[in-house]
Structure 1
Protein backbone atom coordinates (compact mmCIF):
# COMPACT_ATOMS: atom_id res chain seq x y z
CA UNK A 1 0.00 0.00 0.00
CA UNK A 2 1.21 3.55 -0.74
CA UNK A 3 1.11 6.56 1.56
CA UNK A 4 -1.00 8.56 -0.92
CA UNK A 5 -3.78 5.93 -0.66
CA UNK A 6 -4.28 6.37 3.10
CA UNK A 7 -7.42 8.05 4.41
CA UNK A 8 -7.07 11.06 6.75
CA UNK A 9 -6.92 9.98 10.39
CA UNK A 10 -5.29 6.62 9.60
CA UNK A 11 -2.01 5.53 11.19
CA UNK A 12 0.50 3.53 9.19
CA UNK A 13 4.09 2.36 9.49
CA UNK A 14 6.57 3.32 6.77
CA UNK A 15 8.19 0.24 5.24
CA UNK A 16 10.11 1.58 2.20
CA UNK A 17 11.29 5.06 1.16
CA UNK A 18 13.92 3.99 -1.39
CA UNK A 19 11.79 4.97 -4.41
CA UNK A 20 11.74 8.71 -3.59
CA UNK A 21 14.57 10.95 -4.73
CA UNK A 22 17.70 11.36 -2.63
CA UNK A 23 16.78 14.96 -1.77
CA UNK A 24 13.33 13.99 -0.44
CA UNK A 25 14.74 10.97 1.39
CA UNK A 26 17.35 13.19 3.09
CA UNK A 27 14.65 15.71 4.06
CA UNK A 28 12.48 12.98 5.58
CA UNK A 29 15.43 11.46 7.45
CA UNK A 30 16.38 14.89 8.84
CA UNK A 31 12.89 15.12 10.34
CA UNK A 32 13.10 11.61 11.82
CA UNK A 33 10.86 9.93 9.23
CA UNK A 34 12.38 6.62 8.12
CA UNK A 35 11.50 2.95 7.73
CA UNK A 36 9.67 1.79 10.85
CA UNK A 37 8.29 5.23 11.73
CA UNK A 38 4.56 5.39 12.49
CA UNK A 39 2.86 8.35 10.82
CA UNK A 40 -0.71 9.61 10.85
CA UNK A 41 -2.27 11.09 7.72
CA UNK A 42 -3.80 14.36 8.90
CA UNK A 43 -5.03 15.99 5.70
CA UNK A 44 -5.19 15.45 1.96
CA UNK A 45 -5.64 18.76 0.22
CA UNK A 46 -8.02 18.79 -2.77
CA UNK A 47 -7.19 18.75 -6.47
CA UNK A 48 -4.05 16.64 -6.08
CA UNK A 49 -2.54 18.96 -3.48
CA UNK A 50 -0.02 17.99 -0.81
CA UNK A 51 -0.48 15.62 2.13
CA UNK A 52 -0.08 16.64 5.76
CA UNK A 53 1.42 13.94 7.99
CA UNK A 54 2.08 13.82 11.71
CA UNK A 55 5.18 11.97 12.88
CA UNK A 56 6.60 12.18 16.41
CA UNK A 57 4.44 15.18 17.24
CA UNK A 58 5.43 17.28 14.22
CA UNK A 59 3.42 17.98 11.09
CA UNK A 60 5.13 17.51 7.74
CA UNK A 61 3.79 18.39 4.31
CA UNK A 62 4.87 16.41 1.26
CA UNK A 63 3.75 16.36 -2.35
CA UNK A 64 1.19 13.73 -3.21
CA UNK A 65 3.46 12.40 -6.00
CA UNK A 66 6.18 11.75 -3.41
CA UNK A 67 3.68 10.15 -1.03
CA UNK A 68 2.77 7.81 -3.91
CA UNK A 69 6.34 6.45 -3.82
CA UNK A 70 6.44 5.70 -0.07
CA UNK A 71 5.34 2.19 0.84
CA UNK A 72 3.44 1.69 4.11
CA UNK A 73 1.58 -0.98 6.07
CA UNK A 74 -1.37 -0.67 8.45
CA UNK A 75 -0.67 -0.47 12.17
Structure 2
Protein backbone atom coordinates (compact mmCIF):
# COMPACT_ATOMS: atom_id res chain seq x y z
CA UNK A 1 0.00 0.00 0.00
CA UNK A 2 1.21 3.52 -0.69
CA UNK A 3 0.73 6.70 1.33
CA UNK A 4 -1.60 8.26 -1.24
CA UNK A 5 -4.05 5.34 -0.70
CA UNK A 6 -4.64 6.38 2.92
CA UNK A 7 -7.63 8.50 3.82
CA UNK A 8 -7.64 11.58 5.99
CA UNK A 9 -7.41 10.58 9.66
CA UNK A 10 -5.75 7.19 9.08
CA UNK A 11 -2.54 5.99 10.70
CA UNK A 12 0.16 3.83 9.14
CA UNK A 13 3.78 2.76 9.50
CA UNK A 14 6.34 3.79 6.91
CA UNK A 15 7.87 0.71 5.33
CA UNK A 16 10.00 2.12 2.51
CA UNK A 17 10.65 5.49 0.92
CA UNK A 18 13.78 4.66 -1.06
CA UNK A 19 12.09 5.61 -4.36
CA UNK A 20 11.80 9.24 -3.25
CA UNK A 21 14.45 11.73 -4.40
CA UNK A 22 17.60 11.66 -2.23
CA UNK A 23 17.27 15.29 -1.09
CA UNK A 24 13.66 14.75 0.00
CA UNK A 25 14.64 11.49 1.75
CA UNK A 26 17.28 13.39 3.73
CA UNK A 27 14.74 16.06 4.70
CA UNK A 28 12.25 13.39 5.85
CA UNK A 29 14.98 11.81 7.96
CA UNK A 30 15.89 15.17 9.53
CA UNK A 31 12.24 15.83 10.38
CA UNK A 32 11.85 12.44 12.08
CA UNK A 33 9.97 10.55 9.36
CA UNK A 34 11.93 7.30 9.32
CA UNK A 35 11.16 3.75 8.30
CA UNK A 36 9.06 1.81 10.86
CA UNK A 37 7.78 5.08 12.37
CA UNK A 38 4.08 5.75 12.68
CA UNK A 39 2.55 8.55 10.62
CA UNK A 40 -0.88 10.13 10.72
CA UNK A 41 -2.60 11.68 7.69
CA UNK A 42 -3.93 14.96 9.05
CA UNK A 43 -5.19 16.40 5.79
CA UNK A 44 -5.51 15.45 2.14
CA UNK A 45 -6.12 18.53 0.05
CA UNK A 46 -8.39 18.24 -3.00
CA UNK A 47 -7.52 18.30 -6.71
CA UNK A 48 -4.16 16.53 -6.30
CA UNK A 49 -2.96 18.97 -3.66
CA UNK A 50 -0.41 18.21 -0.97
CA UNK A 51 -0.81 15.82 1.95
CA UNK A 52 -0.27 17.00 5.52
CA UNK A 53 1.10 14.20 7.66
CA UNK A 54 2.29 14.08 11.24
CA UNK A 55 5.33 12.10 12.32
CA UNK A 56 7.02 12.32 15.73
CA UNK A 57 5.16 15.53 16.56
CA UNK A 58 6.19 17.23 13.30
CA UNK A 59 3.67 18.20 10.64
CA UNK A 60 5.04 17.71 7.15
CA UNK A 61 3.41 18.70 3.89
CA UNK A 62 4.38 16.58 0.88
CA UNK A 63 3.38 16.57 -2.76
CA UNK A 64 1.14 13.91 -4.18
CA UNK A 65 4.03 12.67 -6.36
CA UNK A 66 6.13 11.90 -3.25
CA UNK A 67 3.14 10.35 -1.45
CA UNK A 68 2.77 7.90 -4.33
CA UNK A 69 6.38 6.70 -3.82
CA UNK A 70 6.17 6.01 -0.08
CA UNK A 71 5.18 2.48 0.92
CA UNK A 72 3.22 2.15 4.18
CA UNK A 73 1.44 -0.49 6.22
CA UNK A 74 -2.01 0.62 7.41
CA UNK A 75 -2.99 0.19 11.04
Establish whether TM, by shorter chain, passes 0.5: yes
Gaps of at least 5 residues in structure 2 are: none
Report how far residue 56 of structure 1 moved: 1.2
Gaps of at least 5 residues in structure 1 are: none
Root mean square deviation of aligned Cα: 0.6
The number of residues matched between the two structures is: 75
Runs of 4+ in 1 over 2 A off after TM superposition: none
- Distance in 1 between residues matched to 2:7 and 2:74, nearest whole Å: 11
- Distance in 2 between residues matched to 1:57 and 1:24, nearest whole Å: 19
Q: Which residue of 2 aligns with 1:58?
A: 58
